[in-house]
Amino acid sequence: MKFRRIGAPIAVAAIAAMAVTGCTTTNETPSTTTGGTITVAEVNEVTSFNPNTPQGNLDMNAKLTGYTRSGFFYLDDKLNIIPDKSFGTVEKTSDDPLTVKYTLAKTATWSDGTPVTADDMMLAWAVQSGFFNDSTTDADGNVTSGTTYFDYAGDTSGLGLADKPVVGDDNTSITLTYSEPYADWQLINPIDAPAHVVADHAGVALKDVMSAMQTMPRGDAAKPAAPNDALKTFADFWNTGFDATSLPTDKTLYLSSAGMVLDSWVPKQSITLVRNPDYKGDLKPKVDKIVVRFIGDAQAQVTALQNGEVDIINPQASADTIKSLEALKNVTTLTGNQFSYDHLDISFNTKVFKDANVRKAFLMTVPRQQILDAIVTPQNPDATLDDSQLFFPGTDAYDAAIKVNGSSAYDKVDIDGAKALLAGATPEVRVLYNTKNPNRVASFQALQASAAKAGFKVIDGGAENWGSLLGSGTYDASIFGWISSGVGVAGVPQIFSTKGGGNYSGYSNAQVDSLAKQLQVTLDKKAQDDIQTQIDTLLWGDGYGVPLFVAPGVMANSNNVTGVVYYPGQAGVGWNYWEWAKK
Amino acid sequence: MVTFIARRLVVSVLLLLGAAFIMYQLTALAGDPLEEFYQSRLPNKNQLIAARTEALQLNVPAPLRFFLWLGGAAKCIIPFANQCDLGLTAQGQKVTDLLPQALGSTIQLVTAATVLAIVIGITIGIVSALRQYTTFDFVMTFVSFLLYSLPSFWVGILLKEFVAIRFNDFLGDPQLGPVWIAVISIVVGLIWLGLIGGELRRRVTVFLVSALATAAVLIYFSLTDWFLHPNLGPVLMLILSAGVALVMTALMAGLKNRRAMLTAGIQVVLAMICYFALQPLLNISSIYTILILALVTIAVGLLTGFLVGGPDRGLNMRVGAFTAALSAGLILVDRFMQAWPSYLGESAINGRPIATVGSQTPNLPGDIWIHGVDSFTHLLLPTLTLMLIGFAGYTRFSRAGMLDVLNQDYIRTARAKGMPERVVIVRHAFRNSLIPIATIVASDFGALLGGAIITEQVFAFSGMGALFQRGISLPDPNPVMGYFVVIAVMVIVFNFIADMTYSALDPRVRTRG
């Protein structure tokens, strides 16, 4: 009895001791100091390795591919197109018809060792041209007949003008021939996901898909054909297969063709990119590792920078953020413009603004400088009035355009001038704006007070559902923002031509229509700028409206990091990551 | 009883369905998910609008869309079928994939804070009640109301500035000036004075002893760069574990109970032996080693109590287990402290340990001790924020509950019988005062997973709160509903448990039929 009482615990203890020693680990060898890690704070988390589908079309997804995918060119901070010859060359071989040849360099390789080939370019072309789609969709987005292969979030109308590419040079080049000149041809970058990976995961032979692409005719929505199974399976994987909530076990889903390759992903916290050992191109990163931490709150990004937890931040700009950043030592704050601007538009189809003089009088009362000083200057001290409807401040074309486009007439509030044009009339103007956006509310209030001095009765037409009211004809003027990619001219007819999908103002000017049409087929950048300047001048002359201000942006870096340059576009702070270095 | 449970269940399910419907409608009404496209100058924006309309089924009116969602969600009830379908987010991610991640972050964030808030809150509340209308009571009342009324984002920012950034700066040259030493010592002295109380002479003694001891410790810390190489060392280990043994014995058995003293004493001796003997094992430990050691520790404590306890085995086993667990905890604390210098030296930390965002340093190499310290430095600020705000409520409730009980007749009877004050307070008063607190604890645990939306945002913990907030700002009902289902079920389950507990605890609440 006695023994059993004591014996049992001893036995338990002995077993436990064995278990304890069995559960130990050997110590990891302490890591040698790394050559350099740069940590970047970003607002959003990655949701997909394919940023080109509607659901994956998120800034962070695009930024991740910026680190991991090479292309034929990239855009620098002045929006110049900089070719990357170590990936491939773009050559315009003919103007009429417009023919462009894309040739891959020998150094272009995916990080699994597979060379980048014309197959990859064919995938990108099929996606970006929508060539094979023959679907008809109703207003709700449901497909009523035919097939949509690739759910592409971008615009297919440009590359859609081209015929099926001709593959050549031992499967390393494609040649595109456009049926009509396409103004933004230089912005076509025919590279997307690795085709062999898509085929492997879709469970189809890449060969079959490529031959389907070579044999299938252009899709015709009027005469939908039976879907091609190989291509459909292939496209279906491209549509959703790259979406993720954590690091996939299959490494091929996040192959890299650029200087960095994804190494780890701690959901909700961070991703880590390491140097791509197989990258042979020119844009070699100087640092070994780039860690991207997901920090949504702007103030939290600032304190993390102050505390040395991150080296570069990219927060949503506000006056408070700038103020707290400027108080920090050893931190460089970079401010500049973003590719979006607030603007006041006149509705041409309303009674009150039929008369051009009333339009001009109204626009003369807009206190643009006051609005700029109140909203933008605290965040971007160098901000100036946005004097062009078509060009973004900071580009050479903008500087040239504002001298001639007639915008100077509206730089200062001119109450007397407005009164003279009104000749005693006191028109009622209902202004639509977003009541949830404090900047728009502030703009409206400033406008209301100023216009009243000239005799306008400005009625508050602000609404939370302003977006669905656009173009409804229930207002006389509207204050809202345009967001654009900053490059290309495809957006111009969209907004300013009579039948443009974004023309909410009912604006119609035959001259603008024909110029916009001409713009779409003009290949030369200089000539494009000329046409855009002409349109700009017509818009100002017609009293289309006035741009209010360009949205400010902010980035900041700790002074132990060099090479960080402000970037206005959606590629964000990582646009030149290969130039980053740690001191 | 069975009908009672059945009735509760039916009511709960109906409640859940009704609330889910309302929640879905409110979310759908919260804004326009297409708004971002109206401002787009992209030529294909109509296509993007159509794509999102289809993805979020916006062409179906919200009241009907709810039933589409419900159809998928209903599959979650089928056990083990793994067919749960809570829909996709606007980014095409499965809500059922996102929920576990969000729950993980939230649990990490709020667990320690809630437990600490409960323990500290109840302790302070009870001491306040025992020292009613003393300076300590007034100060604690003031402090708890002050903290209760502070907004969490502000507390978060203050903590970041002073506990993280300034403390990290301080670690660059960890010397406390004489002013700081004096201030800290006086404050600590005052706290002890308030806690222990008594006549004037006793108070003065308590104040002097505790203030001087604190000053001595702080000077020692400053001189030895303790903040850079913290450790408890054998002497402090011995003092602290002996203290633990004394307190445990005093609270549970009374200092006159020799057997309990012996049990606790044995634990101290064992802890000291383990402190020296186990270091090599700890160096190569994994989390499982620690778990097994913890179980062994508690078993040893129970066993000692069992062997030494004599007629009062149960009591001795409890004393043994608690003392063993706490003094073993001290060994772990010491081991974590030993990892501190190498943690500070990591290139990713660069001598600035206290973090302001996230739950871990990315790509940190090292063993469980380094990672443990890393979790500590990341969780410190959010835990403090939530705890400071949360503990005020518990203080008030436990103080009121304790005062209520202390004025009951049976307490007077117990005192009249000549029972020792310790027994009256710990056994008669404290236990009964816990009943109302149990209600609050139950409902708080239910709400626990709701996350702390603002605290999550301030400290970049992307948990349930962030899931909810992002869903509502688009608005994208599916993640919001995923959040809602988890929270609602938790609240209902815990309220149910609370009801069950009452009827078990208190015969008066038991319902008939």
Report the residue from B40, B53, B342 with minimal CB separation from A483: B40
> Residue A489 and residue A391: Cα distance in Å, rounded?
10
Give Cβ neighbours of residue A378 (< 8 Å, ≥ 6 apart): A319, A322, A323
Q: Collapsing DSSP states into helix, strand and coil, what is residue A207?
A: helix
B254 with B181, same domain: the answer is no
Please compute the mean of the pLDDT values over residues A447-461 and round it to a whole number.
Answer: 93
Handedness of CA B167, B168, B170, B175 (dihedral sign): positive
- Considering only CB atoms, which chain A residues are within 8 Å of B41? 482-485, 491, 494-495, 502
> Residue A298 and residue A321: Cα distance in Å, rounded?
7
Cα torsion for B6, B9, B15, B18, to the nearest 10°? -90
Q: For B80-102, give the DSSP string.
A: T-------B-TTS-BHHHHHHHH
Q: Do B161 and A303 touch (CB under 8 A)?
A: yes
Of A35, A161, A232, A68, nearest to A523 by C-alpha is: A161
Handedness of CA B187, B192, B194, B195 (dihedral sign): positive
Q: What is the pTM of this model?
A: 0.87
Per-residue pLDDT tens for A356-386? 899 999 999 999 999 999 999 888 888 889 9
Q: What is the per-residue pLDDT for B213? A: 92
Q: What is the per-residue pLDDT for B76? A: 81
Please compute the mean of the pLDDT values over residues B479-491 and round it to a whole number.
Answer: 89
Domain termination site, one of B192, B208, B224: B224
B201 with B293, same domain: the answer is no
CA angle (A269, A485, B48) in 5-degree steps = 75
Is the bond preceding A367 in cis, omega lying within 30 degrees of 0? no
- Written in H, E and C, the secondary structure of B14-56 is HHHHHHHHHHHHHHHHCCCCCHHHHCECCCCHHHHHHHHHHHC
The first and second tokens of residue B320, run together, are 């043994």
- Written in H, E and C, the secondary structure of B436-489 is HHHHHHHHHHHHHCCCCHHHHHHCCCCCHHHHHHHHHHCCCHHHHHHHHHHHHH
Per-residue pLDDT tens for B230-282? 988 888 899 999 999 999 998 888 888 889 999 999 999 999 999 999 898 88
| B111: in domain | no
Segment (H or E) for A140: none
- Considering only CB atoms, which chain B residues are within 8 Å of A482? 39-41
| B369: in domain | no
Q: Do A141 and B53 touch (CB under 8 A)?
A: yes
Task: With a cut of 90, say whether residue B450 has pLDDT above it.
Answer: no
Please compute the mean of the pLDDT values over residues A134-163 and round it to a whole number.
Answer: 81
Termini Cα distance of chain B: 6
Q: What is the per-residue pLDDT for A558? A: 95
Interface test mutation site (partner A, options B42, B97, B105, max chain A beta carbons within 10 A):
B42
Number of Cβ within 10 Å of residue A73's Cβ equals 19
- DSSP bridge partners of B229: none
Task: With a cut of 80, say whether residue A482 has pLDDT above it.
Answer: yes
| Residue A177 near residue A164 (C-beta atoms within 8 A) | no
Q: What is the per-residue pLDDT for A1? A: 42
Task: With a cut of 60, say whether residue B372 has pLDDT above it.
Answer: yes
Please compute the mean of the pLDDT values over residues A403-417 and round it to a whole number.
Answer: 90
Task: With a cut of 70, say whether residue A80 has pLDDT above it.
Answer: yes
**What percent of chain B clears pLDDT 90, i.e. is strictly above it?**
40
| B213: in domain | yes
Q: For A67-119, give the DSSP string.
A: HH---SEEE-TT--EEE-TTTEEEEEEEETTEEEEEEE-TT-B-TTSPBP-HH
Nearest CA in chain B to A264: B363
Q: Collapsing DSSP states into helix, strand and coil, what is residue A176?
A: strand
Q: Do B91 and A58 touch (CB under 8 A)?
A: yes
CA angle (B277, A8, B241) in 5-degree steps = 35
> Residue A236 and residue A213: Cα distance in Å, rounded?
15
Domain termination site, one of B351, B384, B411: B351
- DSSP bridge partners of A216: none
| B383: in domain | no
Q: Average the pLDDT over each of A310-324, A458-472, A533-547, B73-87 and give the range with the smallest value.
A: B73-87
Residue B513 pLDDT level (bands cut at 50, 70, 90) = very low
> Residue B189 and residue B183: Cα distance in Å, rounded?
10
| B6: in domain | no
B266 with B313, same domain: the answer is yes
| B265: in domain | yes
Task: With a cut of 90, say whether residue A116 has pLDDT above it.
Answer: yes
Domain extent, residue B321, equals 231-351
The conformational region for residue B47 under phi > 0 = left, psi -120 to 50 = alpha, else beta, is: alpha
Q: Angle A118-129/A195-202 helices, nearest 10 degrees?
A: 80
Report the residue from A55, A142, A154 with minimal CB separation from B91: A55
The first and second tokens of residue A46, run together, are 């990655």
The pairing of beta strand A73-75 with beta strand A37-42: unpaired
| Residue A535 near residue A27 (C-beta atoms within 8 A) | no
User: Å from B327 to nearest chain A CA?
Assistant: 19
When the pLDDT of each residue in chain B is averaged and rounded to a whole number, the result is 87
Displacement of CA B90 from its chain's centroid (Å): 34
Is the bond preceding B311 in cis, omega lying within 30 degrees of 0? no
Nearest CA in chain B to A490: B43
B248 with B336, same domain: the answer is yes
When the pLDDT of each residue in chain A is averaged and rounded to a whole number, the result is 89
Residue A33 pLDDT level (bands cut at 50, 70, 90) = very low
Q: Collapsing DSSP states into helix, strand and coil, what is residue B301?
A: helix
Please compute the mean of the pLDDT values over residues A171-178 and round it to a whole number.
Answer: 94
Looking at this predicted complex, what is its ipTM? 0.87
Q: Do A296 and B101 touch (CB under 8 A)?
A: no
| B452: in domain | no
- A7 — phi, psi (to 5°)? -60, -40
> Residue B134 and residue B198: Cα distance in Å, rounded?
11
Residue B507 pLDDT level (bands cut at 50, 70, 90) = low
- Considering only CB atoms, which chain B residues are within 8 Å of A293? 357-358, 362, 460
Give Cβ neighbours of residue A509 (< 8 Å, ≥ 6 apart): A498, A538, A542
Of A338, A446, A349, nearest to A386 by C-alpha is: A338
Report the residue from A16, A245, A304 with minimal CB separation from B93: A245
Q: Angle B135-148/B368-406 helices, nearest 10 degrees?
A: 120
Q: What is the per-residue pLDDT for B176? A: 83
| Residue A103 near residue A89 (C-beta atoms within 8 A) | yes
Give Cβ neighbours of residue B415 (< 8 Å, ≥ 6 apart): B421, B424
Q: Do A13 and B296 touch (CB under 8 A)?
A: yes
| Residue B388 near residue B147 (C-beta atoms within 8 A) | yes
Q: If you ran DSSP here, which 8-state letter would residue A571 be given?
A: T
| Residue B304 near residue B320 (C-beta atoms within 8 A) | yes
Q: What is the per-residue pLDDT for B192? A: 86
Please compute the mean of the pLDDT values over residues B276-300 and round it to a whole number.
Answer: 90
What B309-313 contacts at long range (C-beta under 8 Å, 24+ apart), as own/partner pairs, is B309/B259, B309/B263, B310/B259, B312/B253, B312/B257, B312/B259, B312/B260
B219 with B236, same domain: the answer is no
Q: Do B50 and A34 touch (CB under 8 A)?
A: no
> Residue A263 and residue A67: Cα distance in Å, rounded?
12
Please compute the mean of the pLDDT values over residues B297-311 and round it to a whole number.
Answer: 90
| B271: in domain | yes
Q: For A399-438, give the DSSP string.
A: HHHHHHSSGGGGSS--HHHHHHHHTT---EEEEE-BTT-H
> Residue B248 and residue B318: Cα distance in Å, rounded?
9
Query: How many A-B residue pairs are in contact by the CB < 8 A criterion?
Result: 224
Report the residue from B34, B355, B366 with minimal CB separation from A467: B34
B188 with B262, same domain: the answer is no
B255 with B304, same domain: the answer is yes
Q: What is the per-residue pLDDT for A31? A: 45
Q: What is the per-residue pLDDT for B38? A: 81
B282 with B242, same domain: the answer is yes
Segment (H or E) for A335: strand A331-346
Query: Strand A260-266's sheet: what is its strand order?
Result: A260-266, A270-275, A289-294, A37-42, A312-313, A545-558, A331-346, A477-483, A428-432, A457-460
Segment (H or E) for B200: helix B200-223
Q: What is the per-residue pLDDT for B487? A: 87
Q: For A24-51, give the DSSP string.
A: --PPPPPPPPPS-EEEEEESS---BS-T
Per-residue pLDDT tens for A424-443? 889 999 999 998 888 899 99
The conformational region for residue A246 under phi > 0 = left, psi -120 to 50 = alpha, else beta, is: beta
The first and second tokens of residue A242, run together, are 């790259």
Domain termination site, one of B298, B324, B351: B351
B48 with B80, same domain: the answer is yes
Nearest CA in chain B to A270: B362
Nearest CA in chain B to A31: B365
Greater model confidence, B489 or A41: A41
B320 with B262, same domain: the answer is yes
- Considering only CB atoms, which chain A residues are within 8 Å of B303? 9
- A168 — phi, psi (to 5°)? -155, -170
B217 with B286, same domain: the answer is no
> Residue B440 and residue A381: Cα distance in Å, rounded?
52
User: Å from A442 to nearest chain B CA?
Assistant: 19
Burial class (CB in 10 A: 0-12, 13-18, 19+), B255: exposed
Task: With a cut of 50, say whether residue A162 has pLDDT above it.
Answer: yes
| Residue A184 near residue A489 (C-beta atoms within 8 A) | yes
B208 with B287, same domain: the answer is no
Of A40, A65, A37, nearest to A287 by C-alpha is: A37
Total domains in the fold of chain B = 3
Number of Cβ within 10 Å of residue B380's Cβ equals 18
Please compute the mean of the pLDDT values over residues B219-227 and round it to a whole number.
Answer: 87
Handedness of CA B413, B417, B422, B428 (dihedral sign): negative
* Cα separations in angstroms, B87 against A157, A168, B487: 32, 45, 17
